[in-house]
Amino acid sequence: QTVVTQEPSLTVSPGGTVTLTCASSTGAVTSGYYPNWFQQKPGQAPRALIHNTNNKYSWTPARFSGSLLGGKAALTLSGVQPEDEAEYYCLLNCGGPWVFGGGTKLTVL
Amino acid sequence: QVQLQESGPGLVKPSGTLSLACAVAGESVSSNYWWSWVRQPPGRGLECIGQILHTGSTNYNPSLKSRVTISVDKSKNQFSLNLSSVTAADTAVYYCARNFDTWGQGTMVTVSS
C-alpha cells in the first residue's frame, strides 16, 4: 500500500509563514490524488481545511492555502495565529483507497 | 446542517466483531456522497478504513479489506461498520464522515477480554 509522508513536526513564530508538505511513495503527487488537508486539536475530531488540492471550505480561514509544490501536496499558513497550533494531516486518493499521511505537529512559538 | 453521530459498544472481546453505526441528520444517506469510516489508535495518526456510496459501491483499505464490511441502511438513514476478528491493534477512536468534509465526534472502542 502507498505510504504518505509528512514532516513529523514544525515550529513557526506567531505571524510567520510555514509550509507543510505531503509526499507519496509512488511518485509525484498530482491533482489526480485529490489532496485533502485536515487540522486536529487534542480531543477533537479532525476538521477539514482543503479539498482537491487548493479548494477551501466556507469555514476555512483565509490564511490557509493548498497547492502542489515540487512533486508534493502543500499546505501553507500565512500569518500564523496561536490557535493554529495543532496536528495537520494530508489525505490522498491512491487509485481507489484513500491514505492519510502520518501527520505534522505544528508548534506556534 | 448535516450532523453525524457514531454509536456502538465501547468494549469488544478479542476475535469478536466490532459493529458501529453512524446516524446521519440533515442529509439523506441516499444523496451522492461517499460515507466513510476513519480510525485513530490512541496517540497515533488517522487511518482510512473505507467508504460506501449510496449505490452500495465500496472502497476498502487493502490492509483491512478481508475483515471489513460497510453498509448503508436507508430506512434508518445511517451507515454501519463491521470489523471482524478484532485484536488489541484495533483499539481506536472510530470516526464516521461524509465526503471527509463533515465528521462525527468519534467513539472510542477498546478490544480487550
Contacts of B4 in chain A (CB under 8 A): none
Cell digits of residue B9: 459498544
- Interface membership of A56 toward B (CB under 8 Å): no
Contacts of B61 in chain A (CB under 8 A): 1, 97
Chain A and chain B share a number of CB contacts under 8 A equal to: 50
Contacts of B33 in chain A (CB under 8 A): none
- Give pLDDT tens digits for B46-70: 999 999 998 889 999 999 999 999 9
Q: What is the mean pLDDT of chain A?
A: 97
Region A16-25: what's the mean pLDDT? 98
Q: How confident is the model at residue A44 (pLDDT cuts 50, 70, 90)?
A: very high
The fraction of chain A above a pLDDT of 70, given in percent, is: 100
Reduce the DSSP state of residue A89 to 3 states and report it: strand
**What's the Cα-to-Cα distance from B23 to each of A59, B106, B107, rounded to whole Å?**
23, 12, 13
Q: Which of A64, A34, A26 is nearest to A47 (CA)?
A: A64
Task: Give the full edge-to-edge strand order of the sheet including A17-24.
Answer: A4-6, A17-24, A72-78, A64-69
* pLDDT value at residue B55: 86
Counting as low any pLDDT under 70, the low residues of chain B are none
8 A C-beta contact, residue A56 and residue A35: no
Contact A97 B105 (CB under 8 A): no
Cell digits of residue B5: 453521530
Contact A46 B95 (CB under 8 A): yes
Query: Looking at residue B28, what DSSP letter applies?
Result: -
The fraction of chain A above a pLDDT of 90, given in percent, is: 95
Contacts of A51 in chain B (CB under 8 A): 100-101
- Give pLDDT tens digits for A51-82: 999 999 999 999 999 999 999 999 999 999 99
Q: Which of B60, B57, B55, B17 is nearest to B38 (CA)?
A: B60
Residue A96 has pLDDT above 90, yes or no: no
* pLDDT value at residue B5: 98
Which residues lie closer than 8 Å to A7 by C-beta, 6 or more apart? A20, A21, A104
Top residue of B70, B101, B105, B108 to mutate, by most chain A CBs within 10 Å, is: B101
B45, B63, B95 ranked by CB distance to A45: nearest: B95
Contact A97 B95 (CB under 8 A): no
Cell digits of residue A36: 485533502
